[in-house]
Amino acid sequence: MSADLGLFGDSAEGAHSSADGAHSEEHAPLAARVRPRELAEVQGQPQLLGPGKPLRRMLEGGTLTSCILWGPPGSGKTTLARLLAERSDAAFVSFSAVTEGVARVREIIVEARARLSTSGRRTILFCDEIHRFNRGQQDAFLPHVEDGTIILIGATTENPSFEVNRPLLSRAPVFRLEPLAEEDLLRILRSALEDRDRGLGSGGVQATDEVLALLARGADGDARRALGALEAAARLAAEEGRITAEAVSEALQHRFAIYDKSGEEHYNLISALHKSVRGSDPDAALYWLARMIRGGEHPGYIARRLIRMAVEDIGLADPDALSVTVAAWQAWDFLGSPEGDLALAEATVYLATAPKSIGVYRAWGSALAAAADTPGEPVPMHIRNASTTQMKEWGYGAGYRYDPDEEDGVAEQAYLPDALTGCRFYVPGRFGFEKTIGQRLEWWARRRRRETGGHEAESEG
């Protein structure tokens, strides 16, 4: 028998019951019944549970420290917390930050102190969804973790670096759990289907490897979802005694996008979209765009990011990129979703297939730095605006030459302050329209050098 399960909503009322008692409930969901009771039954997470890995050493040694278990639903956070408690012979108290508050934490601390003083037995406080506590509430754990009253095991589906207090993170190392691989889920499903004591084996329901593979693939790395769908499919197939692909499809229903508009996945997916565009891969860019749209991201946010890509990564290599992305934003604003989403897809493909240049991006950064370093440099007199007669008398605008009237449209004059003479901020790229820009700049530079050289020769003579 093997399974690796995540958080199953253990209630506060069940906090003091043993794990075995929870497993033995006749009418508990399949996912709860087959929760691993031994380390050997756990599937997946080789980066934490492989030989010599940190969490395995903690489990085998029985010496616990406070820690944060970070991973997606159904990856094994609650299971590992319970196994840690059983290996250390500590009392296990489960607490949900979703349904309970600091008042309940204080009660648990009082009970933990009494337990430690009377029996010497330590208390593991398992805080499910610890990220739901604000930073002030999380501070309630700190003194009791430091003095050893409790061993805190926090579980979170959100990136702890965003959601958990830094002082708490310094006292509780983070162990990251990954979504379970399909082969891990397949082993869990086969075991649950065959197990006659805790699984579905006594019901005589069967399923082919192909059907179980459909279940494993549809669960998206979530063991709880996989087992819940298996149990539902088994009920649908009760009369036939065989689970079909149609039953699996009905049991899985809708596959929810793994996306959080305000959490880590928001930043991960927009980063993937941006880098796919920058890497000129339209297929990858469309995929990540679709993931964000299906995950519920506001298309207006995506449109703004596409406009940013147009000016940051394409720039003047294709000046039309900015027009296309602004038009896509306006089209989406006019049409709304889902019709307007196609305009975003069109803009995404355009950007991904456009020549790339960060010439303007770098030039702007350099110009900002120069402006910060030389904030008092005066504007050269010949390019100042002489808006009054007195200013003309003072020399404002004196010697200015109007470029369009010059031969070839290039006048021999400087436009930067003297202190910045020779500075070059913008260096055009070699591709797209910037190649043409580079040729123009080179021609203008040659023209200015020729004129300068001529005048220098005259003055020397």
What tens-digit pLDDT sequence spans the chain (461 residues)?
A: 333 343 333 333 333 444 444 444 566 889 999 999 888 899 999 999 999 888 888 888 767 889 999 998 899 999 998 888 887 878 899 888 888 888 888 899 999 999 999 988 889 999 998 988 888 888 889 999 988 889 999 999 888 888 888 889 988 999 999 999 999 999 999 999 999 989 998 888 899 999 999 999 988 889 999 999 999 888 887 677 889 888 888 888 755 555 555 566 788 899 999 999 999 999 999 999 999 998 888 899 999 999 999 999 999 999 999 999 999 999 999 998 889 999 999 999 999 999 999 999 999 999 999 999 998 889 999 889 888 888 888 998 888 888 888 878 888 888 889 889 888 898 888 889 989 988 888 888 877 765 544 443 333 32
Alpha carbon distance 44, 74 (integer Å)? 11
Assign domain 12-176 to a CATH class. Answer: alpha beta
pLDDT of residue 85: 82
For the domain spanning 379-460, the CATH number is 1.10.3710
Dihedral sign (CA 365, 368, 372, 375): positive
Q: Which ranges in 101-239 belong to alpha helices (H)?
A: 102-119, 135-138, 142-146, 160-163, 166-171, 182-194, 209-218, 223-236
pLDDT number for residue 183: 94
Residue keyed to tokens 């420290």? 65
Query: Quick one: 320 exposed, middle or buried, by C-beta within 10 A (0-12, 13-18, 19+)?
Result: middle
CATH fold match for the domains 182-252 and 264-353: no
Taking a C-beta distance cutoff of 8 angstroms, is the pair 417, 378 a contact? yes
> How high is the pLDDT of residue 458?
37
Please report, for the chain, the start and end positions of each structural domain, with discontinuous segments joined by +: 12-176, 182-252, 264-353, 379-460
Sheet holding 174-176, edge to edge: 91-96, 123-128, 150-156, 67-70, 174-176
pLDDT of residue 28: 83
What are residue 95's DSSP bridge partners? 127
pLDDT, position 4: 38
Q: Which CATH number fits domain 182-252: 2.60.120, 3.30.70, 1.10.10, 1.10.8?
A: 1.10.8
Q: Indicate the burial class of 251 (C-beta count within 10 angstroms; 0-12, 13-18, 19 or more).
A: buried
pTM > 0.75: no
Q: Give the β-pairing of 150-156 and 91-96.
A: unpaired
How many Å apart are CA 348 and CA 173, to the nearest integer?
40
DSSP for 285-330, written as a single string: HHHHHHHHHHTT--HHHHHHHHHHHIIIIIGGGSTHHHHHHHHHHH
In this structure, CATH architecture of domain 264-353: Up-down Bundle (1.20)
User: First-to-last CA distance in the chain?
Assistant: 99
Q: What is the pLDDT of residue 415?
A: 84
Q: Which residue has the tokens 């604000």?
A: 134
